[in-house]
Structure 1
Amino acid sequence: MSDTLCAPPDSARRARWGVIGYFVATGAALGTWTARIPAVKQDLGLDDGQMTLALFAIAVGSVLAMQGVGHVIDRFGSARVLGPTGLAMAASLLVPGFGGSLPVLLAGLVLFGAGHGVVDVAMNAHSMQVQRHYSRPIVITFHALFSVGGLIGSGVGAVAAQLGAPVSLHFALAAGSLALLVEVSRRRLLPAEPRVVPERSRARGMSPAILLLGVLAFSCSLGEGSMADWSPLYLHDELRTSPAIAAIGYAVFSTMMAVCRFLGDHLVARFGPVSLVRSCGLIAGTGMGAGLLVHHPVAAIIGFALFGIGLSCIIPQVFSAAGTRDPARAGRDLAQVSTLGYGGLLAGPVVIGLITQWTSLTAALLVPAALALVVAAAAPVVRPRPAG
Structure 2
Amino acid sequence: MSETLTAPAASDRRARWGVIGYFVATGAALGTWTSRIPAIKQDLGLDDGQVTVALFAIAVGSVLAMQVVGHLADRYGSARVLGPAGLAMAASLLVPGYAGSLPVLVGGLVLFGAGHGVVDVAMNAHAMQVQRRYSRPIVITFHALFSVGGLIGSGVGAVAAQLSLPVPLHFTLAAIALALLVTTSHRRLLPAEPHEAAERSRARGMSPAILLLGVLAFSCSLGEGSMADWSPLYLHDELRTSPAIAAIGYAVFSTMMAICRFLGDHLVARFGPVVLVRTCGLIAGVGMGAGLLAHNPVAAIIGFALFGIGLSCIIPQVFSAAGSRDPARAGRDLAQVSTLGYGGLLAGPVVIGVITHWTDLTTALLIPAALALVVALAAPIVRPRPAEG
Same fold by TM-score, threshold 0.5 exceeded?
yes
User: What is residue 326 of structure 2 aligned with on the other side?
Assistant: 326
2:58 equivalent to 1:58: yes
Q: What stretches of structure 2 of length at least 5 have no aligned partner?
A: none
Local SS of the residue matching 1:203: coil
Write the letter of the residue equivalent to 2:193: E
Local SS of the residue matching 2:40: helix
- State how far apart, in whole Å, the 2-side matches of 1:330 and 1:106 are: 31
Q: How does 1:6-17 map to 2 (within 5 A)?
A: 6-17=6-17
1:268-318 CA distance string (max 9 Å, x none): 000000000000000000000000000000000000000000000000000
User: What is residue 223 of structure 1 aligned with on the other side?
Assistant: 223
User: What is residue 90 of structure 2 aligned with on the other side?
Assistant: 90
Q: What stretches of structure 1 of length at least 5 have no aligned partner?
A: none
Contact 2:75 2:199 (8 Å CA) reproduced: no
Shift of 1:198: 5.3
Q: How does 1:1-388 map to 2 (within 5 A)?
A: 1-197=1-197, 201-386=201-386
- State how far apart, in whole Å, the 2-side matches of 1:216 and 1:308 are: 16
Shift of 1:210: 0.2
Shift of 1:134: 1.0
Contact 2:327 2:387 (8 Å CA) reproduced: no
RMSD: 1.0
- State how far apart, in whole Å, the 2-side matches of 1:187 and 1:233 are: 45
Shift of 1:136: 1.8
Q: TM-score of the superposition, structure 2-length normalised?
A: 0.98
Write the letter of the residue equivalent to 1:382: V
Write the letter of the residue equivalent to 1:341: G
Contact 1:7 1:135 (8 Å CA) reproduced: no
1:207-230 CA distance string (max 9 Å, x none): 000000000000000000000000
1:183-213 CA distance string (max 9 Å, x none): 0000000000222125663221000000000
1:20-76 CA distance string (max 9 Å, x none): 000000000000000100000000001111111000000000000000111000000
- State how far apart, in whole Å, the 1-side matches of 2:4 and 2:299 are: 44
Contact 2:31 2:151 (8 Å CA) reproduced: yes
- State how far apart, in whole Å, the 2-side matches of 1:199 and 1:251 are: 45
Write the letter of the residue equivalent to 2:280: C
1:334-355 CA distance string (max 9 Å, x none): 0000000000000000000000
- State how far apart, in whole Å, the 2-side matches of 1:25 and 1:210 are: 27
Contact 2:75 2:198 (8 Å CA) reproduced: no
Local SS of the residue matching 1:193: coil
- State how far apart, in whole Å, the 1-side matches of 2:236 and 2:318 are: 34
- State how far apart, in whole Å, the 2-side matches of 1:215 and 1:69 are: 20
- State how far apart, in whole Å, the 1-side matches of 2:219 and 2:96 are: 31
Contact 1:36 1:157 (8 Å CA) reproduced: yes
- State how far apart, in whole Å, the 2-side matches of 1:193 and 1:254 are: 35
Moved more, 3-12 or 235-244: 3-12
Contact 2:198 2:329 (8 Å CA) reproduced: no
Shift of 1:6: 1.4
Moved more, 3-12 or 173-182: 3-12
Write the letter of the residue equivalent to 2:194: P
Could you list the structure 1 runs, at least 4 aligned residues long, displaced by more than 4 angstroms after superposition: none
- State how far apart, in whole Å, the 1-side matches of 2:59 and 2:242 are: 32
Write the letter of the residue equivalent to 2:201: S
Local SS of the residue matching 1:46: coil
1:237-257 CA distance string (max 9 Å, x none): 000000000000000000000
1:101-139 CA distance string (max 9 Å, x none): 111101100000000000000000000100111132100
Alignment length, in residue pairs? 388
